[in-house]
Amino acid sequence: MALKATIFKAQLQIADMDRNYYAEHALTLARHPSETDERMMVRLLVFALHAHEQLALGKGLSDPDEPDLWRKDLTGQIEEWIDLGQPDEKNVIRACGRSAQVFVYGFNRAAEPWWQLAEPKLARAKNLSVRRISVSGDVSLAALAQRTMQLHCTIQDGQVWLGDGERTAAIELLTLR
């Protein structure tokens, strides 16, 4: 019998002063059995970074042909394709052809070595942005994961803070491309 996804509910308040975006989102996250709490929370963080009324969580690990997050316009055209981790270069090139903008967020120690190997293969992709997420301080993103979450995210001058009222993780984004 296959393992089922674990469901998490999050009320996410976003104050993005860099984009003048202020909203609250009620999200339901299905954590794949092979997904860690850290990766699930990175999905939530990246949702906050790209928050938009049409941004949706994709199937991610459950479907390799679908991104972790994406935003489509009203005609169904993909405006933003967002992947996490170290996706296959062929999938990234295919995503660049299918969407207006592609983002890849690395979030662990494997991000930099992956990018060193992938960069020459992805050099022609003009609509690709690659960033690395690192958490500084004592609170990790995984420590914020709970089945029911009330979270707030503040984004200002490129600095990001994600917290639950008791603990706050300071996040640093490094642009690799």
Give the model's pLDDT for residue 138. 67
Alpha-carbon gap, residue 56 to 51, rounded angstroms: 9
**pTM exceeding 0.75:** yes
Q: Residue 17 domain-assigned?
A: yes
Alpha-carbon gap, residue 19 to 50, rounded angstroms: 10
Q: Residue 162 domain-assigned?
A: no
Q: Are 130 and 106 in contact (CB under 8 A)?
A: yes
Average pLDDT value for residue range 92-119: 92
Check whether 137 has a pLDDT greater than 70: no
Q: Residue 161 domain-assigned?
A: no
Q: Residue 79 domain-assigned?
A: yes
Give the model's pLDDT for residue 140. 84
Q: Residue 159 domain-assigned?
A: no
Instruction: Count structural domains, the chain.
Output: 1
Q: Is the dihedral of CA 162, 142, 39, 104 positive or negative?
A: positive
Q: Residue 106 domain-assigned?
A: yes
Over the chain, what is the mean pLDDT?
Answer: 90
- Residues facing residue 80 across a β-bridge: 71, 101
Closest by CA to 50, choosing from 155, 165, 174, is 155
What 3-state DSSP class applies to 70? strand
Give the model's pLDDT for residue 103. 97
Q: 50: domain CATH number?
A: 3.10.640.10
Alpha-carbon gap, residue 85 to 35, rounded angstroms: 11
Give the model's pLDDT for residue 136. 76
Domain span at 65: 6-154+167-175
**Lowest-confidence pick of 33-37, 53-57, 79-83:** 33-37
Average pLDDT value for residue range 148-157: 95
Check whether 77 has a pLDDT greater than 90: yes
Residue 41, number of CB atoms within 10 A of its CB: 26
